[in-house]
Amino acid sequence: MSGILEGKRVLITGVLMESSIAFHTAKLAQEQGAEIILTAFPRPTLTERIAKKLPKPTKVIELDVTNDEHLGRLADIVGEELGGLDGVVHSIGFAPQDALGGNFLNTPFESVATAMHVSAYSLKSLTMACLPLMQNGGSVVGLTFDASFAWPQYDWMGPAKAALEATSRYMARDLGKQNIRCNLVSAGPIGSMAAKSIPGFAELASVWDDRSPLEWDLKDPEPAGRGVVALLSDWFPKTTGEIVHVDGGLHAIGA
């Protein structure tokens, strides 16, 4: 029986550690029949090392999503490797340390601008760089952390994720005519590289111990990866502008 991504070609960003959602997305995508290509920044060699743990070999491209030169050459490099694209996974987020950990009221705009550029605007810039390769439509899937709430310690990454969520909706509006779907997976907390950069992450994650209807495992990124792969597939042919929660159901619980 063929997988749900059989014949699909997918670009995946953000594979930094084996514990990341992006790594499990890449692994599941290959298992479900996709050809994939990875991007990495600032240490492509780290991603190349992690990529060796995937079921099949895959190429790793250096890509700084804030660098116009990198974005400008992306379609040519990916086109040579895969011929085209059917899916793009945006798993990119960054905020300087002074934009996290309870410093919200004192964070300078320069740090806020960096968080917004890398974590939100890049969804648009990455998709537009890949657009020439998506002649037959496709699926863009990003990762968010529910921006409906103000989370402890998360600070300016919260507004950055809110901007990401709005960006995805506007992209869904403007790219629908090209049969390109744009959706997000809102995952619960995972003990990834990104999480380790957030001071007080344990306080934030502890909310799931008390409120999540389904037991949540910080060490298990696979459920979120499955959500991403499902949205990349043809099983959601008319779903766009959506945020699919893979968070144990916590988003539905008030207290």
Q: Which of 8, 52, 154, 196 is catalytic?
A: 154
Nearest to 140 by CA among 188, 93, 174: 174
Six-digit token string for 172: 């869904």
Task: Report how far residue 255's alpha carbon sits from residue 252's, in angstroms, rounded to the nearest whole number.
Answer: 9
Six-digit token string for 2: 């063929």
Q: What are phi and psi of 101, to 5 degrees?
A: 80, 25
137: alpha, beta or left, given left = phi > 0 and alpha = psi -120 to 50?
left
Helix or strand run (H / E) with residue 6: none
Count CA atoms within 13 Å of residue 14 on its CB side. 26
Task: Report how far residue 174's alpha carbon sits from residue 12's, in angstroms, rounded to the nearest whole number.
Answer: 22
Nearest to 249 by CA among 220, 207, 221: 207
Q: Which of 8, 27, 124, 161 is catalytic?
A: 161
Q: Does the annotation mark 121 as catalytic?
A: no
So which residues are the catalytic ones? 154, 161
